[in-house]
Structure 1
């Protein structure tokens, strides 16, 4: 669409009644292109290298951290702290803003200051949002200005050539290796060993779940998700909820208090934690049991129709205030896929 100049994109964005990501989809553009159109008009291209970016974000004080995929958005209010860098994976370990980051996907970074709304926005090579940091009323504006100046890249004019968005992978199963999967699954001592195992066997998460069968997994009814959320709320249970994309996973640890369904959206609207889940995107739900040295790690995991992971939910560990027996009882009570 040759008429979509930066000036025209700014005009369309100002007049839009939908979220930027939805406008970008309507225009057939990556979301990052809408931010890039604001260069010189409130947006600054910045270095998205985690070792430079996260120490600067820590100086902003209290902010809102947002991570999303196509079906779910998680928002946490707090401060960034306890940043640990790594070549392949990095993390923040603040009690409220708890994240895992995969640096190779942190490609296009912007500091945005438009109409008094300030944010840091990072996108992958395809221009898909990886993570956003939204400043709040009490955030440190001087630190934001310093971050913008210190991390600004020399080129503030050129438009990016975004890579095509990767197609969904779907379920990958290596039928000749299913017995090996089951044998080695039963010998796991840490949940982190699972990803290494399935990669080595040329499978992926959903493929492994479909192949493994009982006692490792049980496919649940789609209705299990709202039932699980409601039960966690009603029993005041503590859970760990993981929502992410290729470049970032954000974690909520604690209760789910204020559930507010609205149309296709299942929302959690708590004081310092919001979740927005497209319930109509839920396609496959799995109860997953992985052995660890500390006992079973039992999760409920949701996938969309393309086989993309939407979220994972675990019971909080007992040493953190969780009740493993209560969580196991809840997951065990959820209906099988064929029962609803």
Structure 2
């Protein structure tokens, strides 16, 4: 049965009254995308008492949007994929752009942005039990969330209104055009890969960024490269080792870098992690400036990976879901020109033999 914008709005309002369901979960129940859920709320009068959610479609000047976020002051940046949510508090500065790739390289907000994947954006104003919540939300062509920016009590609300005035799209009728996500390209068979050449290029890496070129050159997926390279450079461990490593980093104050990405954004936390908890299957980091929410049941494999660089070996722990997509990546805190934290390396090198899994 085709749902009208009116029925979507009514169903959303009813489900929000019943409990604190998230937009993503409501959209899933309604069998629509999250972007379609918000787009159904365009064109309403925000000042009407009955309107609890008001969405304003924004123009497609994505880089200009991000360049203007500094005016909001401190906000919460949210990037997620199907298995992990990364929330970071801070200011969007400094911002730069090279072609279709944007960078935010602040001490708090640290992003790599791929604007080609951005399709539609909204300013969202919602009345909640805790007051009015204001945000900017961006989605890909399938209507899946790429990046969200939530105002905090200390944010500059006047700047939010100015951003809307500057970037509002003249077309505010409800609805949005989306398309299905393209299926992932199947990987080549292991027999087609020149493993000695892959190993030679791996050993010859000078920077962690060379890894992406290596994958492209040898036409291998990330997981396939890990399987083929050999245990000296990549080995799998039990999924529970992720929680243990984070707990040790919290206890011993080992600073880390936590990467969470989707096709449109990579978001990075750098620094200490403190408060770790588990609730209803979610592994959580709940710090004042950084929150992480990770679905443990969706972790299919965890790999410890060693990549050679001019600064020495860089060691990461990389989490994958059941379809082979990256959930999150963990590194020891480091800067270019410096070797990685020896405590971090020792922690991952010291994973017991019993924690390792056969790569076959």
TMscore range, shorter length: over 0.9
Q: Identify the residue that residue 5 of structure 1 maps to in structure 2.
A: 4
Pair 154,253 (structure 1): closer, same or farther in 2 beyond 3 Å: same
Q: Identify the residue that residue 62 of structure 2 maps to in structure 1.
A: 50
Q: Retained in 1: the 8 A contact 2:5–2:175?
A: no
Q: Identify the residue that residue 249 of structure 2 maps to in structure 1.
A: 232
Q: 1:40 and 2:43 equivalent?
A: yes
- Give the 3-state SS of the residue equivalent to 1:80 in structure 2: coil
- Give the 3-state SS of the residue equivalent to 1:52 in structure 2: helix
CA distance in 2, matches of 1:290, 1:247: 25
Give unmatched runs, 5+ long, in structure 2: 45-53
Q: Identify the residue that residue 211 of structure 2 maps to in structure 1.
A: 194
TM-superposition CA deviations, 1:241-285 (whole Å, max 9, x none): 000101001101011100010121000100111000001111111
CA distance in 1, matches of 2:92, 2:188: 36
Q: Retained in 2: the 8 A contact 1:168–1:306?
A: no
> 1:86 deviation in Å?
2.0
Pair 318,122 (structure 1): closer, same or farther in 2 beyond 3 Å: closer
Q: Retained in 2: the 8 A contact 1:9–1:34?
A: yes
Q: Identify the residue that residue 101 of structure 1 maps to in structure 2.
A: 113
Q: How many residues get paired? A: 338
Q: Identify the residue that residue 30 of structure 1 maps to in structure 2.
A: 33
Deviates more, 1:265-274 or 1:310-319: 310-319
Q: Identify the residue that residue 336 of structure 1 maps to in structure 2.
A: 356
CA distance in 2, matches of 1:218, 1:163: 37
Q: Identify the residue that residue 291 of structure 1 maps to in structure 2.
A: 308
Pair 301,171 (structure 1): closer, same or farther in 2 beyond 3 Å: farther
- Give the 3-state SS of the residue equivalent to 1:166 in structure 2: coil
- Give the 3-state SS of the residue equivalent to 1:64 in structure 2: strand
Runs ≥4 residues deviating over 4 A: 168-174, 318-323
Pair 322,239 (structure 1): closer, same or farther in 2 beyond 3 Å: farther
> 1:15 deviation in Å?
2.1
> 1:57 deviation in Å?
1.3
CA distance in 2, matches of 1:246, 1:166: 12
CA distance in 2, matches of 1:285, 1:7: 44
> 1:59 deviation in Å?
0.7
Q: Retained in 1: the 8 A contact 2:193–2:218?
A: no
Match of 2:181 among 137, 157, 165: 165
Q: Retained in 2: the 8 A contact 1:264–1:279?
A: yes
Q: Identify the residue that residue 161 of structure 2 maps to in structure 1.
A: 145
- Give the 3-state SS of the residue equivalent to 1:227 in structure 2: helix
Q: Retained in 2: the 8 A contact 1:287–1:299?
A: yes
Q: Retained in 2: the 8 A contact 1:222–1:282?
A: yes
Q: Retained in 2: the 8 A contact 1:172–1:207?
A: no
Deviates more, 1:32-41 or 1:119-128: 32-41
Q: Identify the residue that residue 248 of structure 1 maps to in structure 2.
A: 265
Q: Identify the residue that residue 60 of structure 1 maps to in structure 2.
A: 72
Q: Identify the residue that residue 19 of structure 1 maps to in structure 2.
A: 22
Q: Retained in 1: the 8 A contact 2:86–2:267?
A: yes
CA distance in 1, matches of 2:148, 2:193: 42
Q: Identify the residue that residue 278 of structure 1 maps to in structure 2.
A: 295
> 1:173 deviation in Å?
5.0
Q: 1:75 and 2:87 equivalent?
A: yes
> 1:165 deviation in Å?
2.1
> 1:197 deviation in Å?
1.4
CA distance in 2, matches of 1:130, 1:300: 23
Give unmatched runs, 5+ long, in structure 1: none
Query: What is the RMSD computed on CA atoms of the aligned residues?
Result: 1.9
TM-superposition CA deviations, 1:266-315 (whole Å, max 9, x none): 00100111000001111111111111111111100000111010000000
> 1:181 deviation in Å?
1.2
Pair 251,320 (structure 1): closer, same or farther in 2 beyond 3 Å: farther
- TM, length-normalised to structure 2: 0.89
